[in-house]
Structure 1
Amino acid sequence: MLDCHSRVRDTEPTSPSQSKDLSTMHPPASAPRTFKPDASLVLVGIRGCGKRSLGFVAATALKRRFITEDHYFKEITGMARSEYLKLHGSQEFQRRDIEVLKLMLDNHQSGCVIECGLGSLTRPVQDHLRRYSTTNPVVHIVRDIDRIQQLLGLEDQAVRLLRDGDPLHRTCSNFEFYNVEDRTRIISDDGSPDPRSAAYSFKLQEVKEDLTRFVRFITGVDVNHSSYDSPFVLLETPPELRSFTHAILVRSSDMIDDNVSLTELESGGDAIELCVDRWGPDMANVISKQVSQLRRNARTPVILSIDTSTSGISEQDQPASYFKILEHGLRLAVEYLVLDLGKDKSQLADIIRARGKTKIIGQHIFESSSSVKWEDEGAVALYHEAEKLGCQLVRLLRVATNREENATVVEFANKIRSLSGEHPPLIAYNIGRLGRTSQVFNSILTGVTHPAITRKMENGRDSQITSRDAVRALFQSYVLDPLKFCILGASVAYSLSPAMHNAAIQHCGMSHVYRIPKSPSLAALDELRRDPNFGGSSVVQPWRVEVYHKLAAKSRHAEAIGAINTIMPLRGHPDGTMFTLQEQASRRNQAGPVLGWYGENTDWVGIMTCITRHLSPRNAISAKTTGLVIGAGGMARSAIYAMLRLGCRKIFIYNRTLSRAEEVARHFNSWASSQVDSAEVVLVLRSTQDDWPDDASPPSLIASCVPADPDRNEPPANFEMPLQWLGSPTGGVVLELAYKPLDTPLLQQMRRIRSDTGRSWVLSDGLENVIEQGIAQFELMTGRKAPRRLMTLEVLRNYEGDSGRFDEKTIQARLDGVCS
């Protein structure tokens, strides 16, 4: 194999000082980042950056063929690279390697994910990639160089060569992804690290989620048409189309100075704004890493803005550096990029043309000395200027000098909203202490601070309020109303939902309450319908299907499943006509007469999340993947739907009462015939004595939906898997959805089998799904970002099994396993 020393020498790199300068952060010209939907995705980067592993993740996420340079070289030449080098020598190997790499790119311009090897460090390949990036996404994978040295055991000289060569990848790529180290610790059923788990050896769980979102965004998959397709789901509706959304402002200097507790940023905002306020050498890598860290922890859209007043860079160099940072933001595929409307218009237009899927926020800050007031036509003219420039949103801020300006900014916003036709959403409020009132009442993406930011705010323009402060003020001023939430079902006395939801409600600053009704019967629905302060209800067995038939409207997912676990009130105008679903979602924290019910199902979301979290590359879902569902109730329906949504097209169902299994199979086969071009996706297993069907792969996705408190028509809670059904050589994921008891006979059996066979079965108990579906349900009913870690903690602290409650050590171990 050719070593990295000779490869880097062949590139004639710029000097180390030049390669770290802002001037080399991106190619001189930026082509529009718009591609055909199936344009192949290319990964480039130095040794040890993770291209091979991430390429596999990207190919799985996009459902594309994965091509590596090593494999393709052997396919073309008939021998491995090391063999070719030994036989033909270094010079001939380099010539042939470059030739094959170009051939690989040219012959696979669509439908693939392509990993480029060390050939990307040569000038001929870099020139080829520059041309390629005009029609295809080319992603530069970056990783901490010290970590690469540690992983590969490289000498300092080799590291210097890699450090000098890597920035050249920025000149021949149009995107960049920083591979942040995973914090994931896989936890076994007894709370200890689980070395037999497939996920234990696959230490890419978090980066897998990060990269999946990244490649889907830059390729346009699921953009504006997510898999949820509901105005009530936060992932479906961008924050500028929801009511009273907030953006947490984090300064890059604070992250550099370690003034931000990243893990606490998971809630308290609907987006996170990274304000770049410090310049210097190697800032490209710093910004890339910070964006990845914020995505990892906040799991919300990222807004990138620039504060030139504190950068420390000379005024002469500032304009060029400003646009270099903007271009780098586009490379990182941030969801929103803030442009200063006072900068050069032609350069701003260039940035907008190259934006790809990134939305542009045109911004102007009126200083306190500005002669333009909110009531002046100049403010309206500036809004139209941003719109004409091509901005997707407009943000106008003013340094407040008196409290009266909080009223005039509302009048200005109303004036813009009254314009006829479609126009960009407006963000308008006053900044500084005197502007806090307008910050509370601004409807979309108000800048807020967060308790996780420990530095004392010294910049008078930075927000002094948190999202919790703003939400609490909205309730105290009667803009939002305290609502009542509950859970309905036959056996809800031990439900963990009240503890989980009430903790989240309080954390977010809302005045709602979630409780178990005194008489949790279906008759309670009529009482709830008469209460204008009813906010929504969880629905559990045995009423998931029965309540389904009482709905005025339902999501397409609930309709496909044929069962619900969540209802929300539908309200309307005084004449009795209902609001549109989009308006219902915007008004979900406001009381009013209940005209009907809206039904949703979050069980499938929880199940899908658990499967995705624990699925290893060896068991990535493909055409051969087989699923198995035990049970035929509402939860079994959700499990089947989750597997179908993930791409599994052959699912077997077993239920003790055969007729119920056949009914569920008919339901989904009828649905699938019109949705996924398959007439038979669910097949029935008639007996646990039967062998596994010869024409199907053994299942690698298994969900046991046997209820903890079974009724007379369900199989017993002590179900164990027939051994002849566990033939998957790579193991898989087993979800146990019952959690009373938590350590079920099935989980005990699977641990024994895993120990005896060494096969990598990853086990997920019922509490994990309870938490995930509850998080989705909270966001659905309240429209606020769920505090994931807090809700998980409340479930673990309040769960009481046969052996009592968890001790703090077990709680912490499970918390790290679920929330890391």
Structure 2
Amino acid sequence: MNVRDLINEISISRGQSSSSNHMLSIPPSRAPSPPANAPTFSRRASIVLIGMRGVGKTTLGTIASKALGWELLDTDIIFEQQEHVSIAQFISTYGWEEFRKVETELLERLIPTNLTEKVIACGGGIIELERNCAILQRFRHHGPVIHVLREKDAVLAYLRDSPQYPPFLHETARETWDRREQLFRECCSFEFVSLTVPIPPAPQGFRDIITPDQTFALKPVEEDFFRLLKFIHGVDTKKVALPPRGPRSYSLSLTFEDVRQAIPVLDELSTGIDLWELRADLLSSCELTFLAFQIATLRHHSSLPILFTLRTVSQGGRYTNVSPQDEKAVKNQSLLFHHALRLGVEYIDLEVVMPESTFLSVVEKKGNTVVMGSYNDWEGTLNWSSPQTRYLFERITQLHVDIVRIIGAAKSFEDNMALRQFVSSVERSSVPLVAINVGPEGKISRVLNPILSPLSHPLLPRAAAPGQISFYETQSILYLTGLLPAKKYYVFGCPIGHSMSPAIHNTAFAHLGLPHSYSIKETATVAELQSVMLDPTFGGASITIPYKVEIMPYLQHISRHARIVGAVNTVTPIPGGRGLSGDNTDWRAITTCLSRSLTPANVVTSSTNALVLGAGGSCRAALYALHQIGVINIHIYNRTRLRAELLAEEFRKLDPLLKIHVLDKLDDGPLPIRPPPTMIISTIPATATAPTYSSTTSTSSELIDVGLRLEHLSDAGGVAIELGYERRITKLLSLAQEKRDQGIAWAVVEGIEILLEQGYEQFRIWTGRRAPAKKVQEKVFEVYEQQRRLMQTPEVR
């Protein structure tokens, strides 16, 4: 369909004339009403979990209830407590019909009286009766009803071998599964695939639902589930920041028939991009469950948001064109898009040539999903200089989309210039525009397009469209055309001869094709750095000791976080030549490592205790990180009590709820902390060259012993973080590892991990891009091991 046909079709569907001679004089049609029925829930609304028996509803419910501090209500458990008999025995005695009757009565009492701050896990057959379906469908207007899925064969094998569940009536478990799947989807508001992860068995006699070691193994499941919950409630919808506030952004169209084929190279494929485009029309199947597992797999292996696209043949894809007169085809296409919304995709692409009923119904139900209204001209009829193209843009914006995407076809280089002139003519629109030309002649349009520009990658089976180029090529062209000037970055400090920071940033620059450089700048005074920071080529700097505080008077802006921490480790020029800005990424690195290492069993609550060793500058970053993740009970141990007291007093002013206690000693008996700390952060050097905390003399190769003992670490598991990285394994980390060897879920975070994380955050601040973590980590560990063999002096960054 060409532009003229599209505009005529839209006009006719609105009851307007199709004459092109007076089309532009026709007043804009009445736009559809803004979305009104999209699911919006209070963050306190209870969460209801439904799904087949054995998919893990109780496990997910336990994870969610502990993390949220809500009560878990499991209908199967409540049923057995109420009837004083197991479900299997009840059914054996009274039959399935009586069981369903009692189960329904239970649900009718449970839902209305537990509308807030509960996690309700329902039995696998709850949807067998229409009365129950009606209850769930009513509730989903109040709170989320989430259909939980797992791999069918794994669950069926578990059910077959488990004596806990009675046999199904008149059908096999597989037949029951296939029949119920549609019923679950008719009753739910969202769908979650709980991908199977290896779970260690519980010790004999363990009575709790989940052991501490099992919660550690379930961390990936927790992360996947809470990604969906955060999206549902708008806490973190993973929206890409668009220009002018954000940097240039890019998407990558996956062209695999099965996303699982991409897993080995997913890290490489994600280089430089901000968004995955899942081309559902290129997958081997569009069956709903297959799509659910495709999206779940992609999410499980990447934190990037997902754009769901179903490109039809007329728009350059493989999905069959849908005629508005073909009711079955319209229904099937609509099901796919609404299923994508049910899966919580962050972005969805809607072709403006699709049946209007489907387009408007998706927009109406979009919730927190960003809708991209797209038109793809594969016939080469679109003329960027034509008034019809402007009319097309305005028509699409009237459909209440969040982003417009118009794709043309370049026959000459001049077509790209016409495209840029068109973009300039609509830049004041409140709706962002993605505009590119396909084909070899259109490559430059992809480079110049600043919003979610579609890219390809050599590791893809094929490009999604002709003329697509890689992120690396895009950056090279931007540099050659002067749109990406080379910048110089530094690490400032003294002494810093063995800093690891150049390995971090130069590796990242090279892998992303960025023309920047990073080098060491060692000076006797901070004043000597001023001329470097005022140079037009200055891109930013890492600040290390002794200048983290001394640099602050030279900065025109200091972030709130850096002011609280009392130190700056990152300097960036303010755009427009308005001076320099200072920030601190140390606390962010600690926060990141804490968050990803805490298991569902050790989620932060009002009773959580943390222990910080040392009271120097790094301690401030640790205290702030703990405060930011919600810890209010913090204990400090330092050789000099007065210094710790002063620091504690200062941070107590940050939050009236914050309780910071200073300990006198560690080595005699149990810690005076109840419950024991589940987070321990050491901010002191791992080794020493002179007598210090230990009662005996230390050398540079000896580990410092502050008196921490194995019994001081909680038997509920926890996280041990070492900020120093002159040694890979320290006293604290060896104790945590010993706990792990005992089967207790203690996570170990080495100092070099903190170093990497703060470097990744610096890289993001400077470039607006994610650092290629895997490549950087490989290089840093290589350099780190080389330096350890060549030197004995602890490295300082």
TM-score range, shorter chain: 0.7 to 0.9
In structure 1, the partner of 2:423 is 413
**Do the aligned residues in 1 keep the contact of 2:249 with 2:452 (CA within 8 Å)?**
yes
The alpha carbon displacement at 1:83 in A equals 6.4
Choose from 697, 721, 725 the match for 1:735.
Answer: 721
**Do the aligned residues in 2 keep the contact of 1:61 with 1:216 (CA within 8 Å)?**
no
Distance 2:199 2:474 in 1: 33
The structure-2 alpha-carbon separation of the partners of 1:598 and 1:418, relative to structure 1 and needing over 3 Å to count, comes to same
Choose from 688, 693, 697 the match for 2:666.
Answer: 688
**Do the aligned residues in 2 keep the contact of 1:508 with 1:784 (CA within 8 Å)?**
no
**Do the aligned residues in 1 keep the contact of 2:434 with 2:451 (CA within 8 Å)?**
yes
Distance 2:440 2:199 in 1: 40
The alpha carbon displacement at 1:523 in A equals 3.2
1:167-210, CA deviations, whole angstroms, 9 ceiling, x for partnerless residues? Answer: 3211111111222345999xxxxxxxxxxx95676322323222
Choose from 116, 122, 125 the match for 1:116.
Answer: 122
In structure 2, the partner of 1:203 is 217
Choose from 571, 582, 587 the match for 1:604.
Answer: 587
Distance 2:71 2:396 in 1: 42
Structural mapping, 1:364-763, within 5 Å: 364-370=375-381, 372-418=382-428, 423-453=430-460, 455-457=461-463, 461-519=465-523, 521-572=525-576, 578=578, 595=579, 597-673=580-656, 678=657, 680-688=658-666, 696-708=674-686, 718-723=704-709, 726=712, 728-752=714-738, 755=741, 759-763=744-748
1:83-133, CA deviations, whole angstroms, 9 ceiling, x for partnerless residues? Answer: 655675544333212221332222222223322222434223222212211
The alpha carbon displacement at 1:739 in A equals 1.2
| 3-state SS, counterpart of residue 668 of structure 1 | helix
**Do the aligned residues in 2 keep the contact of 1:436 with 1:465 (CA within 8 Å)?**
yes
Distance 1:434 1:768 in 2: 45
Choose from 275, 292, 295 the match for 1:291.
Answer: 295
In structure 2, the partner of 1:213 is 227
| 3-state SS, counterpart of residue 389 of structure 1 | coil
Choose from 173, 176, 187 the match for 1:172.
Answer: 187
The code of the aligned residue for 1:136 comes to G
The structure-2 alpha-carbon separation of the partners of 1:773 and 1:280, relative to structure 1 and needing over 3 Å to count, comes to closer
Give the TM-score normalised by structure 1.
0.81
| 3-state SS, counterpart of residue 521 of structure 2 | coil
**Do the aligned residues in 2 keep the contact of 1:239 with 1:270 (CA within 8 Å)?**
no
The structure-2 alpha-carbon separation of the partners of 1:55 and 1:239, relative to structure 1 and needing over 3 Å to count, comes to farther
Distance 1:505 1:446 in 2: 20
**Do the aligned residues in 2 keep the contact of 1:448 with 1:463 (CA within 8 Å)?**
no
Any gaps of 5 or more consecutive residues in structure 1? 1-28, 186-196, 225-234, 579-594, 806-820
Distance 2:283 2:573 in 1: 51
In structure 2, the partner of 1:349 is 360
Distance 1:754 1:136 in 2: 39
Choose from 295, 316, 325 the match for 2:336.
Answer: 325
Distance 2:148 2:624 in 1: 35
The structure-2 alpha-carbon separation of the partners of 1:748 and 1:83, relative to structure 1 and needing over 3 Å to count, comes to same
Structural mapping, 1:246-325, within 5 Å: 246-251=250-255, 253=257, 255=259, 261-278=265-282, 283-309=287-313, 310-311=317-318, 313=320, 315=322, 316=326, 317-325=328-336
Tell whether 2:105 aligns with 1:95.
no
**Do the aligned residues in 2 keep the contact of 1:488 with 1:540 (CA within 8 Å)?**
yes
Tell whether 2:159 aligns with 1:159.
no
The structure-2 alpha-carbon separation of the partners of 1:240 and 1:518, relative to structure 1 and needing over 3 Å to count, comes to closer
Give the TM-score normalised by structure 2.
0.83
In structure 2, the partner of 1:232 is none
**Do the aligned residues in 1 keep the contact of 2:44 with 2:116 (CA within 8 Å)?**
yes
| 3-state SS, counterpart of residue 526 of structure 2 | coil
In structure 1, the partner of 2:207 is none
The alpha carbon displacement at 1:469 in A equals 1.1
| 3-state SS, counterpart of residue 277 of structure 1 | helix
In structure 1, the partner of 2:698 is none
The code of the aligned residue for 1:110 comes to T
**Do the aligned residues in 1 keep the contact of 2:243 with 2:450 (CA within 8 Å)?**
no
Distance 2:343 2:385 in 1: 38
**Do the aligned residues in 1 keep the contact of 2:67 with 2:600 (CA within 8 Å)?**
no
1:545-578, CA deviations, whole angstroms, 9 ceiling, x for partnerless residues? Answer: 33345432233322332223211112426xxxx3
Any gaps of 5 or more consecutive residues in structure 2? 1-34, 163-170, 201-210, 695-702, 791-797
Choose from 58, 69, 76 the match for 1:70.
Answer: 76
Of structures 1 and 2, the one with the larger relative CO (CA 8 A, separation 6+) is: 1
Distance 2:174 2:422 in 1: 56
Choose from 55, 59, 82 the match for 1:53.
Answer: 59
The structure-2 alpha-carbon separation of the partners of 1:265 and 1:150, relative to structure 1 and needing over 3 Å to count, comes to farther
Distance 1:125 1:280 in 2: 35
The code of the aligned residue for 1:343 comes to M
| 3-state SS, counterpart of residue 532 of structure 1 | coil
Tell whether 2:113 aligns with 1:107.
yes
**Do the aligned residues in 2 keep the contact of 1:706 with 1:714 (CA within 8 Å)?**
no
The structure-2 alpha-carbon separation of the partners of 1:798 and 1:135, relative to structure 1 and needing over 3 Å to count, comes to same
1:615-646, CA deviations, whole angstroms, 9 ceiling, x for partnerless residues? Answer: 22222222211011111223222222222222
The structure-2 alpha-carbon separation of the partners of 1:369 and 1:256, relative to structure 1 and needing over 3 Å to count, comes to same
The structure-2 alpha-carbon separation of the partners of 1:645 and 1:433, relative to structure 1 and needing over 3 Å to count, comes to same
The code of the aligned residue for 1:544 comes to K
Choose from 761, 777, 785 the match for 2:770.
Answer: 785
In structure 1, the partner of 2:143 is 136
Distance 2:138 2:256 in 1: 33
**Do the aligned residues in 1 keep the contact of 2:255 with 2:462 (CA within 8 Å)?**
no
Larger radius of gyration: 2
Between stretches 324-333 and 374-383, larger displacement belongs to: 374-383
| 3-state SS, counterpart of residue 753 of structure 2 | helix
The structure-2 alpha-carbon separation of the partners of 1:525 and 1:712, relative to structure 1 and needing over 3 Å to count, comes to farther
Tell whether 2:246 aligns with 1:245.
no
In structure 2, the partner of 1:799 is 784
Question: Percent identity among equivalent residues?
Answer: 30
**Do the aligned residues in 2 keep the contact of 1:45 with 1:142 (CA within 8 Å)?**
yes
Count, aligned residues: 722
Distance 1:790 1:200 in 2: 31
| 3-state SS, counterpart of residue 563 of structure 1 | coil
The alpha carbon displacement at 1:48 in A equals 2.7
| 3-state SS, counterpart of residue 567 of structure 1 | strand
**Do the aligned residues in 1 keep the contact of 2:612 with 2:636 (CA within 8 Å)?**
yes
The structure-2 alpha-carbon separation of the partners of 1:752 and 1:274, relative to structure 1 and needing over 3 Å to count, comes to closer
- After superposition, the CA RMSD in angstroms is 3.2
The structure-2 alpha-carbon separation of the partners of 1:747 and 1:630, relative to structure 1 and needing over 3 Å to count, comes to same
In structure 2, the partner of 1:14 is none
**Do the aligned residues in 2 keep the contact of 1:37 with 1:219 (CA within 8 Å)?**
yes
Distance 1:544 1:66 in 2: 47
